[in-house]
Amino acid sequence: MKSWVESANLPGCDFPLENLPYGVFSHAGSRRIGVAIGDQVLDLRGCADGGVPKALSPELTAACSQDTLNSLMALGGGAWSPLRRDLTAILNSNAEARIQQKVKQHLIPMREVEMQLPAQIGDYTDFYASIHHATRVGKLFRPDNPLLPNYKYVPIGYHGRASSMVVSGTDVRRPSGQTKPATTAEPVFSPSRSVDYELEIGIFVGPGNALGKPVPIAEAEEHIFGLCLVNDWSARDIQSWEYQPLGPFLAKSFATTISPWVVTLDALKPYRVAAAERSKEDPSLLSYLAQGDSLAAVDVTVEVFLQSQHMRERGIGAVRLSRGNLRDLYWSVAQLLTHHASNGCNLRPGDLLATGTISGPEEQSEGCLLEMKHRSSPITLPAGETRTFLQDGDEVTLRAYCERPGLPRIGFGECVGRILPALAT
């Protein structure tokens, strides 16, 4: 399809007419819901007030006029699909001239807006859905038995901290915490020396479920509003000391960065693929996790880029550290949501689930620095610097997109964060 917003038709554009992701932006002292189209943001409140798209239901008009996506998320697919059809129609190149003129009044260049968190995130859960990530990390600590016995039966996750979720572009302060260096007899409290990124995809919950009522796997995707990028920053030295026996705590809660645009499952439909094939030796899925859909996964390329302070000062652009794909996960996004609700846990509109680090089977597909310890040589940056973990001033950029000959590119935008020095302790 073509849009009359010319920038949406350019090669390599993340936000063509087939995408139309949702986000929240600030402009001229007002916070509003927007839709990305090319290099523009469409103000949904302005459109609703101006009578475009065509007459919406009172509930949908009210949801589009909020300053977070929670109300829209709560309405479900019966509202999302008609809104998407109407937005596609008014932005299509064959829209009537009078409609185009009305809509143009509500377009704002992206460079003029400040993006915000897309929703009020009530709860955040992070999973461990990549078997390649779990195996590589497991080998660092258990070379002969990297995967624990439960991994192939149950999606593993932990409850994260929603209050420290930040939007792309927010600086991240190096955390201080308690660690146990090998060279000391007692633990110490000091700035972390092992700050890492984790390349993940986030899953925003739509309507959700009532307390005590599980979500069947066949209905799981009806509760998924859309996907975004997630960087689950980690302090590995703090994590290695604190995680036994209850798992991650302060090593993860200092910050989690998400991208501002939420890409809908409707936009990703052309890129649905079969889930990664399981080994013949793997156990059968328990019935509540057995997904009948033959296209259970999504073909989304995910990438990590790094630019050091030294590189910025010398005008050297960011270098790509890895490239993986969401389709390589051992557990699908539907399985993650169904498992989360299987005990009757109530998921609410705007809750965020994350996949955990996304890694592939090949070298250069690792989704974090910890995993790269298996490589034969350390990471060397263009200016000669090396990295085992992040240094102050390092800027990490995550990107994701779907791309295939004959199909439009569906992009997620960027998820960016820069490490600042720790505060004095």
CA–CA gap between residue 366 and residue 196 (Å, rounded): 12
> Which of 133, 223, 339, 340 is an active site residue?
133
Decide if 116 contacts 14 (C-beta within 8 A): no
Q: What is 338-365 written as a DSSP string?
A: HHHHTTSPPP-TT-EEE------SSTT-
Active site residue 223: no
CA–CA gap between residue 241 and residue 245 (Å, rounded): 10
CA–CA gap between residue 170 and residue 292 (Å, rounded): 40
CA–CA gap between residue 160 and residue 192 (Å, rounded): 19
Decide if 417 contacts 231 (C-beta within 8 A): yes
- What residues contact 164, with CB distance under 8 A and at least 6 apart? 253, 254, 255, 256
Do β-strands 379-380 and 386-387 pair in parallel, antiparallel, or remain unpaired?
antiparallel
- Give the Å distances, CA to CA, from 247 to 29, 147, 270, 351, 406: 42, 16, 38, 21, 45
- Give the Å distances, CA to CA, from 14 to 3, 7, 34, 130, 413: 14, 10, 15, 26, 6
CA–CA gap between residue 65 and residue 326 (Å, rounded): 33
Handedness of CA 284, 371, 204, 20 (dihedral sign): negative
- Give the Å distances, CA to CA, from 84 to 114, 179, 223, 230: 23, 49, 17, 24
**Tokens 């990295």 map to which residue?**
387
Decide if 108 contacts 115 (C-beta within 8 A): no
Catalytic residues: 133
